[in-house]
Structure formats: C-alpha cells, structure tokens
C-alpha cells in the first residue's frame, strides 16, 4: 500500500473516531464546565488520552496540512474545556476555604 493511501486510511479512521467518540464527549465536557462543574477523574483521563494521541498524530498532520483547519478547531475546543475546567477548580477551591 502506498504511503499516501495508508495516510488517507489512518486520517479517515481518526476523523470517524473524532466524530463518533471524541467530539460528542468533548461537547458534553464543554457543557459541564460551562455550567461551572469540575471535571471528574474519568473526564481528566479522557482529556489526557486525547492529548497523548494528539502527540502521536502530529507528524501525520504536518504531512497533510489540508486537515489543519479541522485540527485547529478541535484543539481550540479542548483548550476552552481545560481553561474553563481550571477556573472551575480554582473557584471550587476558594469556596472550600
């Protein structure tokens, strides 16, 4: 199998996983943190796995810049979730004092 064909297969699998698994979960987390809730250990494990996977696919994304707009939007979503989650954690910590 040619490398570009292999890359296409991997990219399509990643997109399907993102659409069916990662995006719905990320949207649920965004809703959760937007209402002021803190993330659970399971939520944190999910985000950790997402960031770990992102490191592994970086070389593929560099080879295929046409996917950069989608990747950038996903990164922005995860950034918003983590920033809001941190703010919620800090607010919860301040309330306990």
The Cα 75–Cα 77 span in angstroms is 5
Find the angle CA(17)-CA(18)-CA(24) to the nearest 5 degrees.
Answer: 110
The pTM of the full predicted model, rounded to 2 decimals, is 0.86
Q: Where are the domains of the chain?
A: 37-97
How confident is the model at residue 76, as a pLDDT?
96
What per-residue confidence (pLDDT) applies to 97? Answer: 53
pLDDT average per 10 residues of sequence, the chain (97 residues):
80 94 97 97 96 91 91 95 97 78
């Amino acid at each position: 199998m040619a490398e570009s064909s292999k890359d296409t297969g991997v990219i399509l699998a990643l997109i399907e996983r993102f659409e069916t698994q990662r995006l719905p979960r990320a949207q649920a987390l965004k809703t959760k943190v937007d209402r002021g809730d803190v993330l659970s250990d399971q939520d944190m494990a999910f985000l950790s796995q997402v960031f770990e996977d992102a490191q592994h696919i970086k070389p593929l994304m560099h080879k295929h810049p046409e996917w950069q707009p989608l990747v950038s939007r996903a990164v922005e979503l995860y950034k918003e979730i983590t920033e809001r989650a941190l703010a919620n954690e800090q607010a919860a910590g301040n309330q306990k004092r």
